[in-house]
Chains A and B, each alone.
Chain A
């Protein structure tokens, strides 16, 4: 009984304190219990910056248009292609089991090539080396579909990329890119996503720039798209010349960005504005 009264007093005090501050958390602020899954320590996923309507689309897999692509990926998974007569399933069996957690560890150092590869490139390596099938073009429907399908098998598992060992020099390059000013606006990634995260740039709310939800269905694009497409968009916005999608520069940057979000749950296939 005594304890209940104390608790009630504490809750009362908390409410009073909250009423005293004029800074009420806005809807969508990480203190919202619905956001708990998307906040890990100081890290927040893009979901927590999204409008409630956008979040509602992601919350229900039926409403989420990404699934047109993801379902396509599922179809292609067991479709034999190339002269070796193999499909993804020939080697990897059921994606739900074999691909669980895989997407959360990319980009990764790939010894035969002596550099980092991201998930898109790893899929294409499988196609050319194992299936003897032609490469999928970056940002093609098929590559997006397969990347989304594979990465979705890690949904809700924490992002866990390695930056030590052979990946270390690539991580340093990605980090240097992140902090390097570029373009007419003379901005680095960090100016928006570290220094001004949570602030508005005109009407845009700046996020931490986390990559855990990619590939994502972006309402602006009206389709499913890759992280590199988003990076190219960022570069264009600061009036810098974008690098080609799938370039080493972007893959190194992808590792740095993924590492910034190590521990956040994979959210693929997410929905963003």
Chain B
């Protein structure tokens, strides 16, 4: 199943306002600890890096490890400084990047 992501960013904010951003990405997050029916270890395949960019500048990033559930949900806070684009990148062990973006108007 192709990965898909959803993000919730307020459409408008006042300059300097702290805004909550919610994200959820569809991913199996195979931990690498499990074995298949034949007893062979299933290779680890998780999202290991999440980055949020605000008009190109990195404003939030986190390294992820096993034991994070499938379809991970993450919310965090940033300060609204200017109108523009907020982008989100989830990178997994295979190097595949799932992207999402949202627009915000700051007055």
Residue ranges of A at the interface with B (Cβ–Cβ < 8 Å) = 62-63, 65, 67-68, 71-72, 141, 219, 222-223
CA distance A111 to B71 in the complex (A): 40
Expressed in whole angstroms, the minimum distance between the Cβ of B8 and any Cβ of chain A is: 5
Contact with A along B4-28 (1 / 0, CB 8 A): 1010100000000000001010101
Residue ranges of B at the interface with A (Cβ–Cβ < 8 Å) = 1, 4, 6, 8, 22, 24, 26, 28-29, 69-71, 73
Selected from B4, B22, B29, B69, the residue in CB contact (under 8 A) with A68 is B4
Name the CB-closest residue of B to A64.
B24
CA distance A142 to B14 in the complex (A): 42
CA distance A223 to B71 in the complex (A): 8
Name the CB-closest residue of B to A65.
B71
Tally inter-chain residue pairs, CB-CB below 8 A.
Answer: 27
CA distance A223 to B6 in the complex (A): 16
- Given A62-B8, A141-B1: A223 and B70 interface contact (C-beta under 8 Å): yes
Pair A63/B70 contact, Cβ less than 8 Å: no
- 25 intermolecular pairs with C-beta atoms under 8 Å apart: A62-B6, A62-B22, A62-B24, A63-B22, A63-B24, A63-B73, A65-B26, A65-B70, A65-B71, A65-B73, A67-B6, A68-B4, A68-B26, A68-B71, A71-B4, A72-B1, A141-B1, A219-B69, A222-B28, A222-B29, A222-B69, A222-B70, A222-B71, A223-B70, A223-B71
**Across chains A and B, which 3 residue pairs bring their CB atoms closest together, nearest first?**
A222-B70, A65-B71, A68-B26
Name the CB-closest residue of B to A75.
B4
CB-CB under 8 A from A223, the residues of chain B are 70-71
CB-CB under 8 A from B24, the residues of chain A are 62-63, 65
CB-CB under 8 A from B69, the residues of chain A are 219, 222
Q: Which of A68, A71, A72 gathers the greatest number of chain B CB atoms within 10 Å?
A: A68
CA distance A67 to B4 in the complex (A): 11
CB-CB under 8 A from A65, the residues of chain B are 24, 26, 70-71, 73
CB-CB under 8 A from A68, the residues of chain B are 4, 26, 71
CA distance A219 to B69 in the complex (A): 9
CA distance A72 to B73 in the complex (A): 18
* 15 further interface pairs, Cβ-Cβ under 8 Å (given A65-B26, A65-B70, A68-B26): A62-B6, A62-B8, A62-B22, A63-B22, A63-B73, A65-B24, A65-B71, A67-B6, A68-B4, A68-B71, A71-B4, A72-B1, A141-B1, A222-B71, A223-B71
CB-CB under 8 A from A141, the residues of chain B are 1
Expressed in whole angstroms, the minimum distance between the Cβ of B27 and any Cβ of chain A is: 10
Name the CB-closest residue of A to B71.
A65
